[in-house]
Chain A
Amino acid sequence: MTVREVAVEAYREALPVLAVSAVGGLFAGVVLGGMEAELQAVPGLLMLVPALLATRGNVYGSLGARLASALHQGLIEPHLNLDDERLRGAVAAALANGLLVSLFAAVLAFVVLAVLGRSVAPLPTLAGIAGLAGLVSGLLLTGAVVGVVFVGYRRGYNPDTLAGPVVTTTGDVVGVATLLLATRIVLGLGGL
């Protein structure tokens, strides 16, 4: 293959995926752009945004890859069966990881900003927002990943190629939207 052929093939294969993920990213951005009031009310919240968005991708992307491999190996059936020990285990681990990592991000961000003397909201407020957003986005993304991987597999698609783009596009939107929701709830409760 010549350089030109390699470049054209790579460009053609990647452009549609990137375009879809750009639309998802812009939706997430519009929600974030509308969060001025919340970001001002909770100093330090913006610092959490990249970590929380990446966690959604890392945790639920891994759940999707795990389910896809297990379907290929015949270890699980492509039907929602909550009695299935493997499915329950994978989902429980993903939810627990998502929640713990979100809380860890809130604590570390609080410590860094407090040590440097920058303005930061009280730890219970930040941790409450991160934890609530982590839990709600986890439930939504688990539903999306399990649904898309199972339904896609039953219709003859390779779940390996479905899980990644679904998580990257829905992850950003769900991540920012649940962050807004959690911030409103926690501020509504008086900031904890």
Chain B
Amino acid sequence: METRWSPGAIMRTMLPVLLVLTGIELASGFVLNTFEGTLLQYPTLLVLVPVTIGMAGNLGSILAARLSTVVHLGLLSFEPRDEYLLGNAVATFGLALTIFPVVGAGAWLAQTLVGDTALGIEKVVLVAFGSGAVLAVLAVAVTLVTTYAAYRFRLDPDDVVIPVVTNVCDVLGVVVLFVVVRLVV
């Protein structure tokens, strides 16, 4: 374990990972750039961008952290009827379906106080709710696949799964928001 922290040594370890993750994040930025016109037309949707990205990553990283712990304890079986797998997946859906509609209403309220009401509250809540439901499914799928891959390749799930899941869910957050906005607005 390295206990003398020279800035050079820390940077040599972290910079390559950070640059790869930045490349992944720029992919979601590219999606935002593609529908920038719609976002600027309806600033309420712009309000949803950071919170949707953050929530998608949070849901994935919490699920990943919980499953990693169960893997470390040797309790996870990767069978469809495994109670830890099912229980945590159910909790992820429950959390997404609780938080996202509230976030949608909050975004609409905040934007209304600042002055813009181009988009009705029902549309904003529907966009948030739809994005949340789809993102919960994707977060569970990405986390399961990544955790299983780490388990099969004998990698520590704490090192691998959380950064991969968080950043992939960030990108998916923007992509799903884009698709749902196209369908609803």
A29 CB contact (under 8 Å) in B23, B30, B50: B50
Question: Could you tell me if B22 and A44 are in contact, using CB atoms closer than 8 angstroms?
Answer: no
* Interface flag for A139 (CB, 8 Å): no
* Interface flag for B84 (CB, 8 Å): yes
- A100 (CB) vs chain B CBs: closest residue: B15
Binds A, one of B90-98, B136-144, B148-156: B90-98
Q: Which A residues form the contact surface with B (CB < 8 A)?
A: 1-11, 14-15, 17-19, 21-22, 24-26, 28-30, 32-36, 39-40, 44, 46-51, 53-55, 58-59, 62, 66, 73, 75, 85-86, 89-90, 92-94, 96-97, 100-101, 104-105, 108-109, 112-113, 118, 168, 172, 176
- B53 (CB) vs chain A CBs: closest residue: A50
Given contacts A11-B91, A48-B29, contact A54 B11 (CB under 8 A): no
Q: Which residues in B have their C-beta under 8 angstroms from that of A51?
A: 22, 25-26, 29
Question: Could you tell me if A26 and B103 are in contact, using CB atoms closer than 8 angstroms?
Answer: yes
Question: Could you tell me if B43 and A36 are in contact, using CB atoms closer than 8 angstroms?
Answer: yes
Question: Could you tell me if A97 and B62 are in contact, using CB atoms closer than 8 angstroms?
Answer: no
**Bound state CA distance, A22 and B56, in angstroms?**
11
**Considering the complex of A and B, which 3 residue pairs feature the smallest CB-CB distances, nearest first?**
A6-B87, A25-B51, A10-B91
Question: Could you tell me if B10 and A32 are in contact, using CB atoms closer than 8 angstroms?
Answer: no
Question: Could you tell me if B39 and A46 are in contact, using CB atoms closer than 8 angstroms?
Answer: yes
B51 CB contact (under 8 Å) in A7, A22, A50: A22
Distance in angstroms from A77 CB to nearest chain B CB is 15
**Majority DSSP secondary structure for residues of B touching A:** helix
Which residues 45-83 in B have Cβ within 8 Å of A in the complex? Answer: 46-55, 58-59, 62, 66, 83
* Interface flag for B33 (CB, 8 Å): yes
- A25 (CB) vs chain B CBs: closest residue: B51
Question: Could you tell me if B47 and A29 are in contact, using CB atoms closer than 8 angstroms?
Answer: yes
A6 CB contact (under 8 Å) in B25, B48, B88: B88
Q: Which residues in A have their C-beta under 8 angstroms from that of B174?
A: 50
**Bound state CA distance, A43 and B29, in angstroms?**
12
* Interface flag for B134 (CB, 8 Å): no
* Interface flag for B32 (CB, 8 Å): yes
Q: Which of B22, B103, B167 is the most central at the interface, judged by chain A CB atoms within 10 Å of its CB?
A: B22
**Bound state CA distance, A49 and B86, in angstroms?**
34
**Bound state CA distance, A50 and B56, in angstroms?**
13
**Bound state CA distance, A26 and B7, in angstroms?**
34
Given contacts A55-B18, A75-B3, A101-B22, contact A47 B32 (CB under 8 A): yes
**Bound state CA distance, A25 and B6, in angstroms?**
34
* Interface flag for B183 (CB, 8 Å): no
**Bound state CA distance, A109 and B55, in angstroms?**
24
* Interface flag for B184 (CB, 8 Å): no
- A76 (CB) vs chain B CBs: closest residue: B5
**Bound state CA distance, A113 and B44, in angstroms?**
25
Question: Could you tell me if B25 and A54 are in contact, using CB atoms closer than 8 angstroms?
Answer: yes
Q: Which residues in A have their C-beta under 8 angstroms from that of B36?
A: 39, 46
Question: Could you tell me if B7 and A96 are in contact, using CB atoms closer than 8 angstroms?
Answer: yes
Question: Could you tell me if B83 and A3 are in contact, using CB atoms closer than 8 angstroms?
Answer: yes
Q: Which residues in A have their C-beta under 8 angstroms from that of B14?
A: 59, 62, 93, 97
Question: Could you tell me if A30 and B29 are in contact, using CB atoms closer than 8 angstroms?
Answer: no
Q: Which residues in B have their C-beta under 8 angstroms from that of A8?
A: 91
Question: Could you tell me if B95 and A11 are in contact, using CB atoms closer than 8 angstroms?
Answer: yes
